[in-house]
Structure formats: C-alpha cells, structure tokens
Chain A
C-alpha cells in the first residue's frame, strides 16, 4: 500500500477489514505523520502508547472475526472531550493539568466502535474563537498556504487542531464541537468536511461546556461519506445528557448516493452579504447550477432575521459561558494561584491567571448582560430574537427540504490578522451561527479554491434530525465539485 495516511476513513475501514493493512501499521503511519507535522501544533497531547495498545487490541479482534464498525481506525479527539486518564485542557491554562477520571460519552461511543485514539487536538481556549489563536498552547498553523507565499495562515476555529490534523493526514478523521461555527468554519478553511448535527443528536456529557444551549459535537473528515460513518458512531441518546434526544440513529451511509433529483433546495437571499469576496458568490452560484442539473428544484427563500444572528449569539453565548465557567475556582481542579490572602482572593487570582484575554472578555460580557437591571434589555431580548431566527427556518422549510449557503465569508486569513478587533473576528461565523441558534444540522463541504489556491466551502442546512438529507445533498455537491486539492506537505521539509 502506498501512503496509508492518504486513505479516507471508508477506504481504511475496507483495507483493514480485507486485512490489506493491520491497525498497528495504519496507526504507526499516522504517529509518524504526527511527529513530522509538529510545526503545525495541531495536537496538544499525543498518545502514541495508548494508540498502539488500542491498535494491538483491534488487530486481535480482527483476527478473531470480532470487528466493530470502526475497528482499528485511528482518530484525533478535540481536547474539549474528557478522556479518562489523558490530560484534557480545553486549550486553557486553567485546565493545563486536568486529568479527567471519566470519559465523555461521544469518545466512549467511538472506542466502543473499535476506534483508536491518536491524541488530543488543539483548539481556541474553551472553544471561544474562530482562528485557533486563543489557545494557551499556541496557535495552530494551517497546512494550507497561498500560492507563492510562505505566510502562516490560520486553520479557523475553534476546532482548528482537528481540522488541520484531518487535512494534513495526521488522523483519518476527528471529533470537534460547534457552538457558533467551530466545526464548519475550520472545515471550510482547510478543505475538509465538517458536520454539526442537530442539537440533541450527540450527547454533550463529558464535553467541557461553553454555551450549553448551543454546543454540539460532530466530526471533521475528508469526505462526506466519512462524516456519515463518524456521525453514526458518535450519535445517540444518553441518560447522562437530559437534552440528548431519543430518536433512532439511521444508517447515514445507506442513502448517500441517491442523488438530489426532486429535492427542493432553498437559497436564502440574506446570505448574499456586502463586501464578501466575489469568489464566494461565484462558487455559490455555480453550486446552484450543479444541483439544478442533477434534477433538484431551486427555491428562493427568505430568512429575514439573519442579520441579527451574530449579535444575538454574542449575548446568549457569553451569558451561558459566564455561568458555565463559574466552576473554575481553583479549589477542586485546575490552576490555583499561589500566595493568596483569602478565599475570594484565591478565586479572583486563580481565574485571572487561568483564563486568557478572550475568555475573560466573554465572562465579563456574560456577567453584565445577566446582571440586575440589564437582563431584560440584553439577555431576554436576545432570547426573543433567537425565537424569531428559529421561526424563520421553520417557515423556510415549509417550501424546501435543505438550504444551500456559503460556509464562511472568506478563505483562511493570516495568523495575527484579526486578533486586534474582536468584532471583526466574530464576523467569521456570520453564515454558521444561525444554525446553532435554531439547533439545526449544518454541513460544510469543500467546493472550490480561490485564485490564491485556498479552499472555500459551501454549507447545507437541514431540518432538525434530517442529517441524512443534508449528507445526501452534500455528497451531490462533493461529486460535482470534484474537490481534490491537498496542501503541499511543506512542514516535512521544515
């Protein structure tokens, strides 16, 4: 076999099942690729010993004919999922030494399906960011570069490590989480596929909480089929998460190739924003043509409250974050400041030292919008606008089956380019954040390159729990776009 790190998850699954390659060989190839790609800083913690142990156990099962759906397939886990006995940092100084005594439900589901853990991937601190630059462990560098340039680009965020690792052949696929676009935006920026499932589809238990009414786990993969395989293994109701929904998990792979004939595709006019690069608009228009020629029906629809989504998000998410992050007190786990005078001083200094600038900013915003006298003006109003945004979608879905939009307002940008202005950074999520507010499934599919050779993604948005249709339409885009570009492995020479 040539280079096993270039296989898709589906190809690797078939190769392992056919005994063309052992899990140990496959896992070793990825561990080697991870070592070579350390300049990208995609992993916070590599777990080679555990990976090889899990691979050996998988090879034994395969020999006995006891294979499970992901038997022996090496994956990367975002460092927001608690992993028993393996440090879990959330990209924060405050959790730099935290070793969970339990396993998140989603990662446990993957191990129960036979998968192998390669390590824990870098992310924006507490998943707050769109460029992976707020991590205490340093920024992730995108495997992609513009043509004729050595400038360092961001991989997007917050799941920048998972996206970079998947794009650069440092894992077969990865887990990620999405609160306002943190799966789909980095996937779009790195030429990978990112799926944010319906709220309630995957358990949130054991995932470090950011904004509990918006957070959802999902996969970043190299193909739409791989996303279908991963979701099937990750999803399911969990008694430990009361918001997880007891709806059967379908075989997402089964209907993948059935095409879009007769499918009604909604095009929301509000997603055509001023100042977005023409390349994005052109790609979107081209994709409408692809789906039309495959027999889909194109429907113009309107989501009138779209322009208020980001502002709504930046009230709701910090409010929930300020509440969730109250637990980091320097007493039970995590960082504790030295030499404090009393208990209040211990709280205040441990938190000030433990949280980075963006997290501190969001805690203060959240505390303010929830405080007496401001609650109604900010938080309650935002919750009402959120209801209107969700209503826009339910009305649109009376006229169509799935929506097609751009995934991001632009391609990857340079490291350091947007860190000075928080609002400019927040605008990255303008096309993705609406989906979290409404709790719907969204899929980012790589569909083209800019003139400078950087990936662009398109987004498909579906009805609640209709990931199957989203994936089917995504597969149609993937086929038509025939996106095959890969980053040149410049880091191997570095």
Chain B
C-alpha cells in the first residue's frame, strides 16, 4: 500500500497539521519510503495470535472517585497562551 497526495492532505487534516502545498509531494515520498519498509510485516503468519495491547499483565487499578487536587485553576492557567480570568481564550467558534 502507498499514499498519494490526496491521502497525505486527508491525514494532515485528520491530524490537524497544516501542510503547505510544496511540502506535500516530499511528504508523500517520505511516508511511502517508511510504508514500503513496514510492508515486510505482511510475511508474518499471525493467524490466531491475539493482538498485544499491554505488556503489563495486570488489571487496570481503580481508585476512589474523589477530588484529589482541587482549586488549582490559577496554576492550570499559568501556561495558557491567552486566558481571561479562569477561561482559555480561542478565536470565535459560534457566529
């Protein structure tokens, strides 16, 4: 399988990554280089093998549903590129 320019535009859109028009063709080549290389996995017989999702053989732990760290809005806002009071400010999304 390989990608074309439209596919690269589509995945860039999905990834919310602006890609200038003159960067698309080189990216097609770079991605196809990597995809051609991972094609080798096709030759492995994976019939009946369960996919591995975690190397830790333990159930996810549950914790009590309680507030552990509250009232730290100020600290959370400290790194905001743009904020007002305790709100993150973004361009208008509703007309």
A and B associate: yes
**Bound complex: CA A99 to CA B92 (Å):** 27
Are the CB atoms of B81 and A331 closer together than 8 Å?
A: yes
* A 421-462 contacts with B by CB, 8 A: 421-423, 437-439
Whole-angstrom distance between the Cβ of A412 and the nearest chain B Cβ: 24
CB < 8 Å neighbour of B17 from A99, A307, A355, A377: A355
* A 330-367 contacts with B by CB, 8 A: 330-336, 340-349, 351-352, 355, 360-361, 363-365, 367
Determine whether B66 belongs to the interface, using a CB cutoff of 8 Å to chain A. no
Are the CB atoms of A368 and B91 closer together than 8 Å?
A: no
Of B16, B49, B60, most buried by chain A (CB within 10 Å of CB) is B16
Of B8, B35, B63, most buried by chain A (CB within 10 Å of CB) is B35
* B 11-62 contacts with A by CB, 8 A: 11-12, 14-19, 27, 30-31, 33-35, 37-38, 40-42, 44, 46, 49-56, 58, 60-61
Contacts A331-B90, A351-B18 given: A312-B61 contact, CB under 8 Å? no
Tell me the nearest residue of chain B to A373, going by C-beta.
Answer: B1
**Bound complex: CA A387 to CA B55 (Å):** 9
CB < 8 Å neighbour of B31 from A239, A361, A438: A361
Contact with B along A306-338 (1 / 0, CB 8 A): 011001101100000010001001111111100
Tell me the nearest residue of chain B to A199, going by C-beta.
Answer: B55
Q: Which residues from B are CB-within-8-Å of A239? A: 61, 63
Q: Which residues from B are CB-within-8-Å of A377? A: 1
Are the CB atoms of A386 and B91 closer together than 8 Å?
A: no
Are the CB atoms of A388 and B46 closer together than 8 Å?
A: yes
Are the CB atoms of A367 and B14 closer together than 8 Å?
A: yes
Contacts A384-B50, A385-B44, A423-B33 given: A364-B81 contact, CB under 8 Å? no
Chain A, interface residues (CB within 8 Å), range: 35 or more
Contacts A352-B18, A381-B46, A384-B46 given: A99-B78 contact, CB under 8 Å? yes
Are the CB atoms of A344 and B38 closer together than 8 Å?
A: no
Determine whether A305 belongs to the interface, using a CB cutoff of 8 Å to chain B. yes
**Bound complex: CA A351 to CA B53 (Å):** 28
Determine whether A146 belongs to the interface, using a CB cutoff of 8 Å to chain B. no
Contacts A308-B40, A384-B46 given: A364-B15 contact, CB under 8 Å? yes
**Bound complex: CA A464 to CA B88 (Å):** 44
Q: Which residues from A are CB-within-8-Å of B54? A: 213, 243
Determine whether B67 belongs to the interface, using a CB cutoff of 8 Å to chain A. no
Are the CB atoms of A368 and B49 closer together than 8 Å?
A: no
Q: Which residues from A are CB-within-8-Å of B11? A: 364, 367-368, 371
**Bound complex: CA A312 to CA B60 (Å):** 25
Of B19, B51, B55, B58, most buried by chain A (CB within 10 Å of CB) is B55
Q: Which residues from B are CB-within-8-Å of A195? A: none
Are the CB atoms of A245 and B91 closer together than 8 Å?
A: no
Are the CB atoms of B31 and A368 closer together than 8 Å?
A: yes
Are the CB atoms of B90 and A314 closer together than 8 Å?
A: no
Are the CB atoms of B37 and A371 closer together than 8 Å?
A: no
Determine whether A220 belongs to the interface, using a CB cutoff of 8 Å to chain B. no
Are the CB atoms of A385 and B75 closer together than 8 Å?
A: no
Contacts A348-B18, A364-B31 given: A374-B1 contact, CB under 8 Å? yes
Q: Which residues from B are CB-within-8-Å of A386? A: 51-52
CB < 8 Å neighbour of B55 from A343, A382, A390: A390
Q: Which residues from A are CB-within-8-Å of B92? A: 342
Determine whether A47 belongs to the interface, using a CB cutoff of 8 Å to chain B. no
Are the CB atoms of A363 and B17 closer together than 8 Å?
A: yes
CB < 8 Å neighbour of A343 from B15, B44, B90: B90
**Bound complex: CA A367 to CA B14 (Å):** 7
Are the CB atoms of A365 and B78 closer together than 8 Å?
A: no
Tell me the nearest residue of chain A to B88, going by C-beta.
Answer: A331
Are the CB atoms of A383 and B53 closer together than 8 Å?
A: yes
Are the CB atoms of B78 and A438 closer together than 8 Å?
A: no
Are the CB atoms of A387 and B52 closer together than 8 Å?
A: yes
Contacts A314-B38, A344-B16 given: A333-B79 contact, CB under 8 Å? yes
Q: Which residues from A are CB-within-8-Å of B76? A: 101, 332
**Bound complex: CA A360 to CA B90 (Å):** 23
Are the CB atoms of A101 and B82 closer together than 8 Å?
A: no
14 contacts between A and B (CB under 8 A): A101-B78, A101-B79, A199-B55, A239-B63, A243-B56, A245-B56, A315-B38, A331-B90, A341-B91, A346-B90, A351-B16, A367-B11, A382-B38, A423-B37
> Given A364-B15, A421-B33, list of 6 further CB < 8 A pairs?
A101-B78, A243-B56, A334-B81, A371-B11, A380-B51, A381-B42
Q: Which 3 A-B pairs have the closest CB atoms?
A: A439-B55, A383-B51, A333-B79
Residues of B within 8 A of A (CB): 1, 3, 7-8, 11-12, 14-19, 27, 30-31, 33-35, 37-38, 40-42, 44, 46, 49-56, 58, 60-61, 63, 72, 75-76, 78-82, 88, 90-93
Residues of A within 8 A of B (CB): 97-99, 101, 199-200, 213, 239, 242-243, 245, 305, 307-308, 311-312, 314-315, 322, 326, 329-336, 340-349, 351-352, 355, 360-361, 363-365, 367-368, 371, 374, 377-378, 380-388, 390, 421-423, 437-439, 464
